[in-house]
Amino acid sequence: MRVHVEELQVQTRSREDIVIITGGIESAIERSGIKRGIALIYVPHATAMLAVNENEPRLKEDILSKLRQLFPRNAGYRHDEIDDNANAHLANVFLGPHLVVPVINGRAARGTWQDVMMIEMDGPRARRVIVVVVGE
Amino acid sequence: MRVHVEELQVQTRSREDIVIITGGIESAIERSGIKRGIALIYVPHATAMLAVNENEPRLKEDILSKLRQLFPRNAGYRHDEIDDNANAHLANVFLGPHLVVPVINGRAARGTWQDVMMIEMDGPRARRVIVVVVGE
Amino acid sequence: MRVHVEELQVQTRSREDIVIITGGIESAIERSGIKRGIALIYVPHATAMLAVNENEPRLKEDILSKLRQLFPRNAGYRHDEIDDNANAHLANVFLGPHLVVPVINGRAARGTWQDVMMIEMDGPRARRVIVVVVGE
């Protein structure tokens, strides 16, 4: 049993953005040499979050549209009295900064329509993504 | 320290359905022989998701009603131009395909009102649920 | 590789409340003696949930306001025919009872604006929070 830790750098391009990070995750798992176990993906930020879904351009627009609809900007949030990103914090509370996937045969055991997405709601920013692989 | 991997098959009966999978999870943990650690439950699909809550028929109706309300079908989603299940993808982005529970004394340390639910929003389908138990 | 298990007690003060539990989590990780790995935080309850975000009083009000807006009380839920807390169950289905964070250098590798929050929607209650640290 071993633990492997890596950190990825992810750059977002606009205030709200979705970046596919599957490649970086798979590379980290491969470098770990771990064949069976779990991989934790973690974003140490309060306005960026993780999801796993289909990497289809129109769907990514739908995801951002739904987040804007449920968490609109400047909707009278109290936190906006000291900052202007309360809606991004709220989206993070719902989607979460963590994701755990199985590692089987040295790869993430994700489905055909499952890519790992880092979603930012208060960018553009350079963000860190921590990957911890635990297994044998 | 050991790693145990299993896969369950779960069949949904209608487009939107909730299937209680606690029994299968508990059996996998028991077969692992692991007494203390964690169990990852993971659905490798983009329209099925996991939750943990009370197995009460009326509450399960409320859960599906709330999902339909927040993610209604055919609400002008761009992904629906190439498919007709964007709302199910969006629900998955919010609820997530992963769940991690403690394993203590060889069992999932879940609460009295906590059953593990696989929720499908684009069924009926045969779905896979991966269980990875890590511990000693 | 080792497994460390602890349980915290958390008291909420009102029906809807957010309690910062970062200190208890960090203490459990420190007591584990584990330097690299992962920490699972798990609430074995169906109306309490976990989030990670900024410990800023106005933002905590915004979080509870958003939860009340998306999951209002007594909105004709069927579960309320036998209880009066369906909205709290629904909030739990969305936010989830589990959180996994990296452990690096013997500490939770959380960001500057990331505190661990237990959110209760059906209190005041005494709640249990289970912490499982796995690593080396």
**CATH number for the domain harbouring residue C57:** 2.60.120.460
What pLDDT is attached to residue C45?
Answer: 98
Neighbours of C63 (CB within 10 A): 25
What pLDDT is attached to residue C37?
Answer: 98
What pLDDT is attached to residue A71?
Answer: 98
What pLDDT is attached to residue C102?
Answer: 98
What pLDDT is attached to residue C3?
Answer: 98
Contacts (Cβ under 8 Å, ≥6 apart) of A54: A113, A114, A115, B46, B89
What pLDDT is attached to residue B81?
Answer: 98
What pLDDT is attached to residue B59?
Answer: 98
Query: In chain C, which residues have pLDDT < 50?
Result: none
pLDDT tens, N- to C-terminus, chain A (136 residues): 999 999 999 999 999 999 999 999 999 999 999 999 999 999 999 999 999 999 999 999 999 999 999 999 999 999 999 999 999 999 999 999 999 999 999 999 999 999 999 999 999 999 999 999 999 9
- Residue A54 within a domain: yes
Strand order in the sheet with B48-53: B17-20, B115-120, B48-53
Contacts (Cβ under 8 Å, ≥6 apart) of C22: C55, C108, C110, C115, C116
- Residue B78 within a domain: no
- Residue B41 within a domain: yes
- Residue B26 within a domain: yes
Nearest to C82 among B58, B102, B104 (CB): B58
Residues forming beta bridges with residue A78, ordered by sequence position:
none
Q: Decide if A3 and C36 are in contact by the 8 Å CB cutoff.
A: yes
Which residues of B lie closer than 8 Å to C, measured between beta carbons? 1, 36-38, 51-54, 56, 58-59, 61-63, 65-66, 70, 94-96, 99-104, 109-111, 113-114, 134-136
What pLDDT is attached to residue B48?
Answer: 98
Give chain B's domain count: 1
CB contacts of B84 in chain A (<8 Å) are none
Compute φ and ψ for B30, nearest 5 degrees: -65, -45
- Residue C77 within a domain: no
pLDDT tens, N- to C-terminus, chain B (136 residues): 999 999 999 999 999 999 999 999 999 999 999 999 999 999 999 999 999 999 999 999 999 999 999 999 999 999 999 999 999 999 999 999 999 999 999 999 999 999 999 999 999 999 999 999 999 9
- Residue C125 within a domain: yes
Q: Is C55 helix (H, G, I), strand (E, B) or coil?
A: coil
Q: Is ipTM strictly over 0.95? A: yes
Encode burial over A95-113: b for 16+ CB neighbours within 10 A, e otherwise: bbbbbbbbbbeeebbbbeb
Neighbours of C11 (CB within 10 A): 12
- Residue B79 within a domain: no
Cα of C132 vs its chain's centroid, Å: 14
Q: Is the dihedral of CA A75, A117, C41, B41 positive or negative?
A: positive
Q: How many helices (H) and strands (E) does chain C have?
A: 3, 8
CB contacts of A109 in chain B (<8 Å) are 42, 44, 130
What pLDDT is attached to residue C77?
Answer: 98
> Tens digit of pLDDT for each residue in C31-49?
999 999 999 999 999 999 9
- How far from A91 is each of B58, B94, C83, CA to CA, in Å? 28, 9, 29
By residue range, what is the domain housing residue A31? 2-71+85-135
0.90 cut: is pTM over it?
A: yes
- Residue B77 within a domain: no
Which residues of C lie closer than 8 Å to A, measured between beta carbons? 1, 36-38, 51-54, 56, 58-59, 61-63, 65-66, 70, 94-96, 99-104, 109-111, 113-114, 134-136
B11: its two tokens: 């069949």
What pLDDT is attached to residue C87?
Answer: 98
- d(CA C54, CA B39) in angstroms, rounded, equals 28
What pLDDT is attached to residue A19?
Answer: 98
Report the largest interatomic distance among the alpha carbons of chain B, rounded to a whole angstrom.
50
> Residues C108-112: contacts with CB within 8 Å, 24+ apart?
C108/C22, C108/C25, C108/C26, C108/C29, C108/C39, C109/A42, C109/A44, C109/A130, C110/A44, C110/C22, C110/C52, C111/A43, C111/A44, C111/A45, C111/A46
- d(CA A53, CA A86) in angstroms, rounded, equals 25
